[in-house]
Amino acid sequence: MGESMQDRRIWEHPVLSWDRGTPLSISYDGRSVTAYPNETVAAALYAAGVLAFTRSSYLHRPRGPFCMIGKCSQCMMRVDGVPHVRTCILPVEDGMVIESEDPHDSEYPTPARELRVERQELSYDLAIIGAGPAGLSAALAAAPSGMRIAVLDQSPYPGGQLVKQTHKFFGTKESFAGTRGVDIARNLISMLKEHPNVELHTTTQVIGYYPPEGVLIAARAEGVDKYKLMYIRAGRYLVATGAMERTLAFPGNDLPGVMGAGAAQTLMNVFGIKPADDVLIIGAGNVGVIVAYQARQAGINVRAVIDILPKTAAYLVHAAKIRRLRIPIFLEHTIKGAYGDGAVESAVIYQVDRSFRPIEGTEKELKVDGVWMAVGLSPSVELLNKMGARIKFVPELGGYVPYRTKYMETSVRGVYVAGDASGIEEASTAMMEGRIAGLSAAISAGRGTDAMAEERRKAIEWLDLFRESPDYRRIKEGVSKVLIQEAA
Ligand SMILES: Cc1cc2nc3c(=O)[nH]c(=O)nc-3n(C[C@H](O)[C@H](O)[C@H](O)COP(=O)(O)OP(=O)(O)OC[C@H]3O[C@@H](n4cnc5c(N)ncnc54)[C@H](O)[C@@H]3O)c2cc1C
């Protein structure tokens, strides 16, 4: 039930290759599973056909990974006796013992190894949370000031969502147009390595902030049984925590095999693992159609891309690419339900009228083992909220977002924001906002130069001009609702 024993790894791909190294062995519920050194525990289990990772608390329904970036709780398992470990961001180690958890377990598990927690007191001029395009660009912009900077990311690999984008980006020279997202991430990281005053900490999750003391707490995992608890005091903080994929309400939306399109991308493009053989993609915007194209590159049969709207919101070039592959796009369609015994085995879609009501007799059943949701993202503002930043619900920006000045400083002095955490947009604007925030942090600390002030002026001008175009007017409107009209 919910498991297939084949190896789901991809060995041939038109764009990507994976340097897998020497195989390791881990154990999952008493069975031996092959893993590779660069994989996370969840990726290795998925490759071995494990789809159900945990169970829901009340109805005891099986649950599989949904986000694959450490933001949801659907991949939590017991690792070497340590309960509730987010396996999607924990790198595998030879000999690890993984057990699926049952919320009805009554006995507290005994960790197989003694848990070692080392406390570190650290201070920096600037602590950046998130090493996606926004966080990396912020660090690069602030680095010439000579400030001591820490960039913290919970993922084992820096680059945020860029590391799974195999397509060439649009935009301008400043936003690396014409370069694949995965290569943009590599460029940013290699440029950062030239600055000895910047430390990049991966597998380091920020888990709290205590305003009275102004202390940020991050847990750096150095294996499942060894953590460094970093108590960080920084002169300035910059939150670039990205976003979380949304889901839709329909029967069976929690079945293993139903996941965010970004999660499917992580499995396919970061780890080279097929999340499914036949898939239905919900959402025909840019993300949905790009992921459909990438699924085909990974050898997956895309049975349909559906969208409830009468028109696709994707760029013509992306939509045309998948039409050329004869992947059907059904507009004015939505999902009725996903069905299966322990994991997705089929989905039913139907047509809707102009009021989004189902049209009787239009149901189509699709034999799929994956349903991927590309229905939007919500900014990850939990940490900003904890830091006391004023936030507001702004539909144009994807949900709750912080108030900010044009210098990307929030309502809390010395706390900056950039990228998807400030509103859902795209990597090019995330990088530009990161640059503005990084420069502003340096300038406000008295560490900026005239050249940095000029660079910031140009970056703000670029962003304003970018958002003048008809496609981005909505974003401009959204930003105007949370813009603090004061100089930083
Ligand atoms: C399929 C797809 C296609 C896309 N195509 C394009 C395109 O063609 N052009 C374009 O410009 N944009 C594109 N985008 C959008 C772009 O990828 C995002 O807008 C961009 O990555 C946002 O950058 P960010 O740095 O704000 O967030 P992210 O890239 O999400 O990075 C956030 C980082 O924060 C880390 N983090 C979060 N919480 C914590 C915590 N508590 N502790 C430590 N670390 C934490 C995460 O691990 C992550 O690495 C695409 C997105 C998708 C999904």
DSSP secondary structure string for all residues of 338-371: EE-SSS--EEEEEEB-TTSPBPTT--EEE--SEE
CA distance 294 to 148: 39
| DSSP at 396 | G
242 phi, psi to nearest 5 deg = 75, -140
Write down the CATH number for the domain with range 24-113. 3.10.20.440
Pocket probe mutation, ligand 1, options 72, 128, 161, 462, max atoms within 8 Å of Cβ: 161
Q: Residue 379 and residue 393: Cα distance in Å, rounded?
A: 10
Residue bearing the CA closest to ligand 1, atom 49: 160
* Other CB atoms within 10 Å distance of the CB of residue 194: 9
Establish whether domains 24-113 and 118-243+380-481 are of one fold.
no
Q: Relative to the CA of 382, which ligand 1 atom is closest?
A: 41
Q: Which residues are 19's β-sheet partners?
A: none
Superfamily of domain 118-243+380-481: FAD/NAD(P)-binding domain (3.50.50.60)
3-state class (DSSP) for residue 247 = coil
240 lines ligand 1 (CB under 6 A): yes
Q: How big is the CA angle at 300 (ends 298 and 305), to the nearest 5 degrees?
A: 115
Question: Ligand 1 centre and the CA of 421: distance in Å?
Answer: 9
* Residue ranges covered by each domain of the chain: 24-113, 118-243+380-481, 258-377
Cα of 387 vs centre of ligand 1, distance in Å, is 21
Place of tokens 């702004």: 394
Strands 149-152, 198-201: pairing is: parallel
* CATH tag for 258-377 (out of 3.10.270.10, 3.50.50.60, 1.10.10.10, 3.30.420.40): 3.50.50.60
DSSP letter at 108 equals P
DSSP character string of 36-99 = -TT-BHHHHHHHTTB---EE-TTT--EE--S-SSS-SSTTEEEETTEEEEEGGGSBP-TT-EEE
Cα 358 to its chain centre, rounded Å, is 32
φ, ψ at 121 (rounded to 5°): -100, 125
Asked if residues 390 and 413 have their Cβ atoms less than 8 Å apart, the reply is no
Distance CA 147, CA 126 (A): 7
What is the residue with the minimal CA distance to atom 33 of ligand 1? Answer: 130
Per-residue pLDDT of the chain (488 residues; tens, 9 = 90+): 445 557 999 999 998 999 999 999 999 999 999 999 999 999 999 999 999 999 988 888 999 999 999 999 999 999 988 888 999 999 999 999 999 887 777 666 676 677 788 999 999 999 999 999 999 999 999 999 999 999 999 999 999 999 998 888 776 776 788 888 899 999 999 999 999 999 999 999 999 999 888 899 999 988 878 889 999 999 999 999 999 999 999 999 999 999 999 999 999 999 999 999 999 999 999 999 999 999 999 999 999 999 999 998 888 888 888 999 999 999 999 999 999 999 999 999 999 999 999 999 999 999 999 999 999 999 999 999 999 999 999 999 999 999 999 999 999 999 999 999 999 999 999 999 999 999 999 999 999 999 999 999 999 999 999 999 888 899 999 999 999 987 54
Closest CA to 436 of 137, 129, 128, 127: 137
